[in-house]
């Protein structure tokens, strides 16, 4: 029996009638779906903001467009949603400290001036992150408790080495990809 007094079968039937899967089932399914890790930054009148995201997806190469989602729970969401331009940092395993910093609540992500600087256009850029895209936000769409943002790349810095090992988030943990994880 479930906590509602229903059998698991009855609970599943109620779940389907109510709109499909439960939020817990959905979260469990996505825990087993790895995602690349990015940090998104923006400049605001109040100062720079940043958050860690695992929802960045390439949508189009011509024009170069990506999407990502912003959780209503993040303190940076309102600022990034309102921004005209952003920087999407595509993280490698060596950038784990940046990912952790920007996913930690209640800390000043820009307290150490040695770790970041503004681009000439004003957006904050974390030093040492080799792959990043400066983007113009072109659309926003509310989706449940999140906002889906579409952004067109205006400027890029890409990793110069094939040896870069991307940072990946899987089952509530940080991982990296490389030759060791390649399937033959």
Each residue's pLDDT, cut to its tens digit, for the chain (184 residues) gives: 444 455 545 544 454 455 688 888 888 888 888 899 999 999 999 999 999 999 999 999 999 999 999 998 888 989 999 999 999 999 999 999 999 999 999 999 999 999 999 999 999 999 999 999 999 999 999 998 899 999 999 999 986 666 789 999 988 889 998 888 888 7
- Are 51 and 3 contained in the same domain? no
The CATH number that applies at residue 69 is 2.30.110.10
pLDDT at residue 12, as a whole number: 45
- Are 52 and 119 contained in the same domain? yes
Q: Is 120 helix (H, G, I), strand (E, B) or coil?
A: coil
- Are 77 and 29 contained in the same domain? no
Q: Give the bridge partners for 31, in sequence order.
A: none
How many folded domains does the chain comprise? 2
Cβ proximity of 46 and 79 under 8 Å: yes
pLDDT at residue 73, as a whole number: 85
Task: Output the CA torsion sign for 67, 106, 119, 122.
Answer: positive
Q: Is 91 helix (H, G, I), strand (E, B) or coil?
A: coil
Domain that holds residue 81: 35-181
- Are 162 and 102 contained in the same domain? yes
Rounded to whole angstroms, the Cα distance separating 15 from 22 reads 6
Nearest to 132 by CA among 98, 101, 104: 98
- Are 116 and 39 contained in the same domain? yes
- Are 86 and 48 contained in the same domain? yes
| pLDDT tens string 13-33 | 454 455 688 888 888 888 888
- Are 28 and 42 contained in the same domain? no
pLDDT at residue 32, as a whole number: 85
- Are 96 and 16 contained in the same domain? no
Global model pTM greater than 0.75: yes
pLDDT at residue 19, as a whole number: 66
């Amino acid at each position: 029996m479930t906590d509602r007094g229903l059998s698991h079968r009855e609970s599943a039937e109620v779940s389907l009638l109510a709109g499909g899967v439960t939020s817990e089932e959905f979260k469990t399914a996505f825990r087993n779906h790895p995602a690349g890790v990015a940090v998104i930054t923006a400049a605001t009148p109040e100062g720079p903001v940043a958050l860690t995201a695992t929802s960045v997806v390439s949508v189009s190469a011509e024009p170069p467009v990506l999407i990502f989602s912003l959780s209503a729970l993040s303190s940076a969401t309102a600022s990034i949603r309102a921004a005209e331009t952003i920087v999407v940092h595509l993280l490698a395993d060596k950038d784990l400290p940046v990912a952790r910093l920007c996913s930690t609540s209640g800390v000043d992500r820009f307290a150490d001036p040695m770790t970041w600087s503004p681009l000439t256009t004003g957006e904050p850029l974390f030093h040492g992150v080799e792959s990043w895209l400066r983007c113009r936000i072109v659309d926003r769409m509310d989706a449940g408790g999140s906002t889906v943002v579409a952004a067109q790349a205006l400027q890029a810095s890409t990793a110069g080495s094939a040896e870069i090992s991307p940072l990946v988030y899987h089952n509530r943990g940080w991982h990296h990809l490389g030759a060791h994880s390649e399937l033959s």
